[in-house]
Amino acid sequence: MRASRQVSQRIAFGLISLAALVVVIPIFYIIGYIVVQSAGAVSWTFLSEMPRDGMKAGGVLPAIVGTLLLTLGTAIIAVPIGVGGAIYLSEYAKDTWVTRAIRIAIINLAGIPSVVYGLFGLGLFVIFLNFGTSILAGSLTLGIMTLPVIISTSEEALRAVPQSFRLVSNSLGGTRWQTIRRVVLPQALPGIITGIILGIERAAGETAPILFTAAAFFLPRLPASLFDQTMALPYHLYVISTQVPGMPISIQYGTALVLLLFVLSMNLLATLIRRHYRKQRVW
Amino acid sequence: MDRPEAKLEIRDLTVRYADGTESLQRFSLDIYANQINVLFGPSGGGKSTLLRTLNRLNDLANVEKQSGSIQLDGEEILSPDCDVIQLRRRLSIVFARPVPLPMSIYDNVVYGLRLAGVRDKATLDATVKRALVQAVLWDEVGDRLTESAYALSGGQQQRLCLARSLALRPEVIMLDEPTSGLDPISTLKVEQTLRELKEAYTVILVPHSVQQAARMADWAAFFLQGELVEWDTGHRIFTNPSERRTEEYITGRFG
């Protein structure tokens, strides 16, 4: 009896450990593989120079700049609307059919494939609003795609703030907005920031939404205005991996490494912020 | 015996929540100025509901029905014209579980004043000292006002919450079982404070035990399931109540 219990315990432990290992292996494998394949392609010149010789030499500067601009544009559009919407849902909205409809819309928005967002952006921003294939149209498209992530994580962070804080603030003569600004928002901020970074990080790595709305195959210069097309890391990676014959492997993997580092560093930042504030939290 | 001046006149107040819980039925009661007005009785009697109706905190709850009248110095509280924010500064509440806001001791005490738009540093400093002295907390925290309010013990936190209410110079101070989580020494301090406060304030106390009710009451109202059974001076209620249900409750027959 005892022996069989110990055996089943060992088997269960073994299987669970294996599952954990299976999760970890691909991450190290992917990063390791990319680092090895890029074979030292990533250097200061790679980061700071324009592509040369049909992108087969030189650097990826315009793609880096493009991705930074698109990420910034996404944040400028998605953060105020997303956080504002979350504050409305968590602090103001009563449970009516309108509120429920909004929630269902958000859940569904999160489930739409990114290429559909791309097509939507093409129809609305590029063609109908006549922004052209531009940083503006791409940022708007990515911004809308990011909204559901920011709204749901922000709302969760706001709801985690104890109800008793709101009651106390109200009982001391606080209006709803004073209560939000002085107590609720500061306490929810770390969670909100984490959600924002994770949402925007996802947008930074997307290819499909910018495919029709912002991305250029190759540009010999940096974008000069919001209405310019731009190169971007994910799309550049797609281009040099599939569209250009005779492309050196190391440049492909070098580009992948830059994109990966960009996204991972945002991830790290989110983790650090969360850890820093969790230590300070008193409730 | 002469009745003191009524600070609050509650007439035919009916409150019912949407989920059917704790409510008041055609409830009438006077709250006397500069007295300790004790509201007591088994839980679910409507004591907390009454407190939260008096400063309209119930506006935020799921109230299905509310009717009747409450007058504060002759002014109707339940009317839609009533300035609720101003009302909450006049009738301040201290909850059963101390809830310091996640900020420093100093910022907690001046929180209500800052909401009201007070910026002057000297005024804020003076208020912090006065309120903490009144709440018998100054000697313990006067030299560490910038520390987090969560560094304080439970008893100190409750007195901090009292100080936070007193900082607003309310006219009525309402306490909902303020000593339920406290040790006997802290309880004694809070009770002593309340006796001093009634000189300047009207005190409404929901005690956490019958013993505390008897110790503290100038006037006592016995609540049972949303109904006011009896209301008289504390002395009469606890020595010679006229209702059998009151007597049974205070002698521990039920509750």
Pairing mode, strands B219-224 and B36-40: parallel
The model's pLDDT over A203-245, given as tens digits with 9 standing for 90+, comes to 999 999 999 999 988 888 888 889 999 999 999 999 999 988 8
Mean of pLDDT over chain B: 91
Q: Does B164 touch chain A (CB under 8 A)?
A: yes
> DSSP strand E in A45-87: where?
51-52, 57-58
Q: Does B58 touch chain A (CB under 8 A)?
A: no
How far is the C-alpha of B178 from the C-alpha of A186, rounded, in Å?
28
The domains found in chain A, sorted by start residue, are 58-280 (1.10.3720.10)
ipTM: 0.89
> Least CB-CB distance to A171: which of B57, B97, B148?
B57
Per-residue confidence in pLDDT tens, chain B, 255 aa: 567 889 999 999 999 888 877 688 888 999 999 999 999 999 888 899 999 999 999 888 888 888 999 999 999 999 988 999 999 999 999 998 899 999 999 999 999 999 999 999 999 999 999 999 988 899 999 999 999 999 998 889 999 999 999 999 999 999 999 988 788 888 888 899 899 999 999 999 999 899 999 999 999 999 998 889 999 999 999 999 999 999 999 988 887
CB contact under 8 A, B148 and A168: no
Cβ neighbours of B150 in A, within 8 Å: 282
This prediction has a pTM of 0.85
pLDDT given for residue B11 in this prediction: 94
The model's pLDDT over B33-63, given as tens digits with 9 standing for 90+, comes to 999 999 999 988 889 999 999 999 988 888 8
Q: Buried (b) or exposed (e) across A54-89, using 16+ Cβ within 10 A? A: ebeeebbbbbbbbbebbbebbbebbbebbbebbbeb
The model's pLDDT over B142-182, given as tens digits with 9 standing for 90+, comes to 999 999 999 998 889 999 999 999 999 999 999 999 988 78
Cβ neighbours of A175 in B, within 8 Å: 85, 115
Give the 3-state secondary structure of residue B12.
strand
How far is the C-alpha of B222 from the C-alpha of B227, rounded, in Å?
9
Cβ neighbours of B171 in A, within 8 Å: none
CB contact under 8 A, B57 and A173: no
Cβ neighbours of B168 in A, within 8 Å: 172-173
Cβ neighbours of A167 in B, within 8 Å: 57, 60, 95, 99
Taking residue B87's Cβ as centre, other Cβ atoms within 10 Å add up to: 17
| End-to-end CA separation in angstroms for chain A | 46
Contact in structure between A213 and A122 (CB atoms under 8 Å): yes
Backbone angles phi, psi at B95, to 5 degrees: -90, 165
The alpha-carbon gap from B57 to the nearest alpha carbon of chain A, in Å, equals 7
CB contact under 8 A, A172 and B60: no
Assigned CATH class of B6-250: alpha beta
